[in-house]
Structure 1
Amino acid sequence: MPAIFRPRSTLIGRAVLLAMAMTVTVAVGWWWLAPRSDWARRVGFTIDQPVPFSHQHHVAGLGIDCRFCHTSVEVSAKAGLPPTWTCMTCHSQIWTNAGLLAPVRQSLAEDKPIVWGRVNNLPDYVYFNHSIHVAKGVGCSSCHGQVDNMPLSHKAATLTMQFCLNCHRDPGPQLRPENAIYNTEWVRPADMPSPDAMLAHYGIPNRTLTDCSICHR
């Protein structure tokens, strides 16, 4: 009786099964890893803005303090964005005819705010308060990265729940002195007070900061 399958059929069958197994493995790996990647979370990606504002130029180059533009960061949940007249404080005197700044001049002339693209964002079910963080010793660069090195702003941290919990579980090592809150170049010195001392200095209560109600209200 002649053979139904040729000798190489076994090899072909094994190759097909191996390919199928690899395809399933890759698909499951992609399904698991892709949402957790910097690409999915847009970490390091710049977005189009109506004006190509450079923190590198304004912060590192000109030495402008964060609070000059983000005026409500110490008193409000939101850091705030500068109204057009804040920009025109300088640009009514310098770069007055620059094409890049045409949207700024138009915003002032029409009394309409510039619509900036959101770089850092949290889901609606997450409550975050800028003022309490800076008041308790958390520096801007802890979440926003070294903005003074950003020609164009980009998201520097994942801002996921795990990112926040990493700090909330052990906040002491993340705290810095008051005079370093807005220093994006700050590095923890060797003679820094202990984490427990920093917690006591800022009056952070001895309670769990991972309670759901702290961030979800």
Structure 2
Amino acid sequence: MTQIFHPRFGLFAKLTLIALLVLVSAAVLAWRGLTNEPHRIGEAVEQPVPFSHKHHVGDDGIDCRYCHDTVETSSFAGMPPISTCMTCHSQLYTDQAVLKPVVDSWQRGVALHWQRVHQLPDFVYFNHSIHVAKGVGCESCHGRVDRMPLTMRTQPLSMQWCLDCHRAPQKYLRPRAQEFAMGWKAKDQDTLGLALLKRYHIDTRRLTDCSVCHR
């Protein structure tokens, strides 16, 4: 009787399946590594300087836009240059050891390397300015930063989390004057939200289209 397959065919087949399994597992792990946020929710992110939003926002009342000055006009909220820090710290606490990296950066002209708190995958399109234009407050995504001695994640920013908001944005919308306020609550969010949907011309039928976030 003629043998159709090579005697070692079974071994080759098993090795091929094992190799495919290893490649698929590696691809899944790589994908998860690329799409996962760099820090867990509630985990303070260590920075070159222990910048406190609690002090600057909560105690001193500095508006978000003073440092994140492109949040209303760009997809990126903006990180303040050292010159913004030195507007105050050329006079205040300049000799403090904790501020030495800031002063050194200013004197040497070398930027500080801040650690990202949020890192969306490259295949996700996110635009800060459109969210601000449509009444989404900073607190909805970033939490009560005015209470954070060190900045941390408070929301997962996962696809499901974003879709929950896109399906019912009226639960989160604010008047433009309150978008940068911390701890603001509407007396009747349901009524206000539905009114703001119309005022901001938000078409909820398109908000869950794939092309909104994946372009």
Q: After TM superposition, is the score higher than 0.5?
A: yes
Q: Which runs of 5+ in 2 are unaligned?
A: 1-31
* 1:170, distance to aligned residue in structure 2 (A): 1.0
* 1:196, distance to aligned residue in structure 2 (A): 2.5
> Where does residue 151 of structure 1 map in the other structure?
149
The answer to whether 1:86 aligns with 2:84 is yes
Length-normalised TM-score, structure 2: 0.80
Question: Is residue 41–residue 156 contact of structure 2 (8 Å, CA) maintained in 1?
Answer: yes
The answer to whether 1:120 aligns with 2:130 is no
> Where does residue 209 of structure 2 map in the other structure?
211
Counterparts of 1:63-212 in structure 2, within 5 Å, are 63-190=61-188, 193-205=191-203, 207-212=205-210
> Where does residue 54 of structure 2 map in the other structure?
56
The 3 A distance-change label for structure 1 pair 41 and 110 is closer
**Residue type matched to 2:70 in 1?**
S
> Where does residue 12 of structure 1 map in the other structure?
none
> Deviations along 1:57-94, whole A, 9 cap, x unmatched?
00010000000000000000000100000000000011
- What CA RMSD, in Å, does the superposition of the two structures yield over aligned residues? 1.9
Question: Is residue 169–residue 208 contact of structure 1 (8 Å, CA) maintained in 2?
Answer: no
Runs of 4+ in 1 over 4 A off after TM superposition: none
Aligned length: 181
> Deviations along 1:159-200, whole A, 9 cap, x unmatched?
100110000011112101111100121112137744321111
> Deviations along 1:12-52, whole A, 9 cap, x unmatched?
xxxxxxxxxxxxxxxxxxxxxxx9xxx99611101210000
Q: Which moved more, 1:203-212 or 1:59-68?
A: 203-212
**Residue type matched to 1:170 in 2?**
A
Question: Is residue 39–residue 45 contact of structure 2 (8 Å, CA) maintained in 1?
Answer: no
Once residues 94 and 193 of structure 2 are traced to their aligned partners in structure 1, the CA distance between those partners, rounded to angstroms, is 48
The 3 A distance-change label for structure 1 pair 176 and 191 is closer
Q: Which of the two has higher C-alpha Rg?
A: 1
**Residue type matched to 2:99 in 1?**
L
Once residues 42 and 129 of structure 1 are traced to their aligned partners in structure 2, the CA distance between those partners, rounded to angstroms, is 23
Q: Which moved more, 1:81-90 or 1:189-198?
A: 189-198
> Where does residue 8 of structure 1 map in the other structure?
none
Question: Is residue 38–residue 118 contact of structure 2 (8 Å, CA) maintained in 1?
Answer: no
**Residue type matched to 2:149 in 1?**
P
Q: Quote the sequence identity (%).
A: 53
Once residues 194 and 188 of structure 2 are traced to their aligned partners in structure 1, the CA distance between those partners, rounded to angstroms, is 15
The 3 A distance-change label for structure 1 pair 191 and 110 is closer
